[in-house]
């Protein structure tokens, strides 16, 4: 302390750094230390509390960071774990597509055969219908020719005596016809 | 084509006149004879049905045709129908008149269609046979329809007794 005070007091115009009465130095120093004590006494807890809060905040941030890091690592591992599943899924889809294509090919083949059979059956049916229709038309035409010929023969052959006979026959049989 | 109202109207007029003159049976018989001649004679049918001929000319034809063969009443009635322009419906009017006279006596009426006209004997035998079959007096009106080819078709009430060759030919056609 002495050395300190001497160094302070040294080198002024009067050979000391601080002019004035030495008592001012003592009182100034006392005031300084009193003020310092007050600051430490009153401000210390506040400063400590702020420091603690800051420390806690940093600790929380570190914890959150660690947590995020853990989650990221977990996701990374999960993705890495899923990679084999993707491969399997691709294989499954490919197999399913192949199976579907094979089944479709089979179904189309069966359908083509069925369609061909149906076309053949319809063709046969149409041919049969045409044959029947032609037969029916021919029969109708023959019947028309026959009846027209018969009618012409009957009309030509009928004479007045035949007319009288027809009327007499009608009169004789009217009793059974009524 | 003459409407059924015209036919009914003229037949009622014929019936009224013939009744009032007391000549119902003779007029009916004479009208039937004229109708038979009308049906069987193409030239007569054409002349009496031709509306292009003046009514006086048609009436003159009737006078010339029926003079001395029918009563004045019958001749006047035929002249009335023909000069009025209903010659083509003459057989139908006579048929309706005969039906009216038959129902007036409580008799049945039959329209008998044939390819050729029935003789009086055939008409009488047919009327007798029909009367015996249905149990009531029957009066007949013969209408000639050459399209029947041969035989007879009788229409009595709602019955049709078809003995025509046309019917037989049609049945033969259906059987083919």
Range in A51-55, A78-82, A139-143, B118-122 with the lowest mean pLDDT: A78-82
- How many domains are there within chain B? 2
d(CA B99, CA B95): 6
**Structural domain harbouring B132:** 107-176
> How far apart are the CA of A130 and the nearest CA of chain B, in angstroms?
21
Q: Which pLDDT does position A139 carry in this prediction?
A: 84
DSSP conformation class of A39 = I
Q: Any CB–CB contact under 8 A between B118 and chain A?
A: yes
Do B115 and B175 lie in one domain? The reply is yes
pLDDT, chain B, mean: 89
Q: Which pLDDT does position A122 carry in this prediction?
A: 93
Report whether pLDDT(A13) > 60. no
Size of interface A-B (CB pairs under 8 A): 68
Q: Which pLDDT does position A3 carry in this prediction?
A: 57
**Quick one: closest CA in B to A169, which residue?**
B151
- Element holding A159 (H helix, E strand): none
ipTM for this prediction? 0.75
d(CA B3, CA A167): 31
Report whether pLDDT(B2) > 80. no
Residues A118-161: pLDDT tens digits? 999 999 999 999 999 999 999 888 878 887 887 788 778 888 89
The mean pLDDT value for A64-89 works out to 85
Question: In this predicted model, which residue has the larger pLDDT, B82 or A5?
Answer: B82
Report whether pLDDT(A102) > 90. yes
Q: Any CB–CB contact under 8 A between B163 and chain A?
A: yes
Inter-CA distances, B126 with B39, B120, B123, B137, B147, Å:
19, 10, 5, 11, 21
Do B46 and B64 lie in one domain? The reply is yes
Do B138 and B69 lie in one domain? The reply is no
The mean pLDDT value for A110-117 works out to 92
Q: Which pLDDT does position B41 carry in this prediction?
A: 85
Report whether pLDDT(A97) > 80. yes
| pTM, full prediction | 0.52
For chain A, domain boundaries: 2-172
Of B86, B106, B126, the residue that ends a domain is B106
Inter-CA distances, A13 with A9, A16, A27, A28, A136, Å:
10, 6, 22, 20, 156
Report whether pLDDT(B7) > 70. yes
Q: Which pLDDT does position B90 carry in this prediction?
A: 92
Report whether pLDDT(A11) > 70. no
Residues B145-166: pLDDT tens digits? 888 999 999 999 889 999 999 8
- pLDDT band at A8; cut points 50, 70, 90: low
Do B120 and B78 lie in one domain? The reply is no
Would the CA dihedral through B61, B53, B142, B110 be positive or negative? negative
Q: Which pLDDT does position A7 carry in this prediction?
A: 57
C-alpha Rg value of chain B to the nearest Å: 17
Q: Any CB–CB contact under 8 A between B157 and chain A?
A: no
Report whether pLDDT(B114) > 80. yes
- Element holding B113 (H helix, E strand): strand B108-114
Report whether pLDDT(A84) > 70. no
Q: Which pLDDT does position B105 carry in this prediction?
A: 87
Report whether pLDDT(B65) > 60. yes
Do B81 and B123 lie in one domain? The reply is no
Do B94 and B130 lie in one domain? The reply is no
Of B87, B106, B125, the residue that ends a domain is B106
Q: Are B60 and B75 in contact (CB under 8 A)?
A: no
Do B30 and B94 lie in one domain? The reply is yes
Do A147 and B130 count as a contact with CB atoms less than 8 A apart? Answer: no
Burial of A115 (0-12, 13-18, 19+ CB in 10 A): exposed
Of B78, B106, B134, the residue that ends a domain is B106
Do B96 and B155 lie in one domain? The reply is no
Which residues in chain B are closer than 8 Å to A178, comparing Cβ atoms? 130, 133-134, 159, 161
Residue linked to tokens 């889809």: A93
Do B82 and B7 lie in one domain? The reply is yes
- Of A159, A166, A147, the closest CA to residue B113 belongs to A166
Residues A18-60: pLDDT tens digits? 556 888 888 999 999 999 999 989 888 899 999 999 999 999 9
The mean pLDDT value for B83-101 works out to 90
The mean pLDDT value for B32-59 works out to 87
Do B14 and B28 lie in one domain? The reply is yes
Among the partner-chain residues A143, A167, A175, the one whose CB lies closest to the CB of B122 is A167
Do B152 and B86 lie in one domain? The reply is no
């Amino acid at each position: 302390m002495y050395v300190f005070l001497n160094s302070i007091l040294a080198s002024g115009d009067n050979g000391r750094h601080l002019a004035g009465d030495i008592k001012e130095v003592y009182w100034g120093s006392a005031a300084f230390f009193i003020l310092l004590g007050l600051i430490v006494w009153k401000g210390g807890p506040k400063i400590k509390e702020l420091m603690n809060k800051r420390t806690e905040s940093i600790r929380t941030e570190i914890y959150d960071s660690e947590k995020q890091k853990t989650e990221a690592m977990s996701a990374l591992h999960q993705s890495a774990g899923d990679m084999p599943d993707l491969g399997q899924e691709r294989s499954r889809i490919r197999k399913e597509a192949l199976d579907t294509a094979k089944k479709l090919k089979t179904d189309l083949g069966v359908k083509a055969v069925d369609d061909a059979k149906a076309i053949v059956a319809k063709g046969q049916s149409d041919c049969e219908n045409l044959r029947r229709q032609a037969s029916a038309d021919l029969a109708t035409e023959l019947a028309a020719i026959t009846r027209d010929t018969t009618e012409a023969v009957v009309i030509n052959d009928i004479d007045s005596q035949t007319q009288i006979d027809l009327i007499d026959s009608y009169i004789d049989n009217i009793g059974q016809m009524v | 084509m003459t409407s059924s109202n015209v036919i009914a109207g003229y037949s009622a007029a014929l019936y009224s006149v013939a009744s009032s003159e007391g000549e119902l049976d003779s007029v009916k018989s004479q009208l039937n004879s004229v109708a038979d001649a009308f049906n069987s004679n193409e030239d007569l049918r054409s002349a009496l049905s031709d509306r292009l001929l003046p009514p006086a000319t048609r009436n003159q034809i009737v006078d010339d045709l029926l003079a001395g063969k029918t009563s004045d009443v019958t001749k006047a009635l035929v002249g009335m129908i023909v000069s009025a322009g209903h010659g083509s419906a003459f057989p139908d009017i006579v048929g309706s008149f005969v039906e009216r006279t038959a129902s007036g006596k409580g008799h049945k009426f039959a329209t008998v269609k044939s390819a050729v006209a029935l003789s009086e004997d055939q008409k009488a035998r047919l009327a007798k046979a029909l009367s015996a079959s249905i149990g009531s007096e029957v009066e007949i009106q013969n209408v000639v329809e050459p399209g029947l080819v041969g035989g007879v078709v009788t229409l009595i009430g709602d019955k049709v007794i078809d003995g025509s060759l046309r019917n037989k030919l049609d049945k033969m056609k259906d059987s083919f």
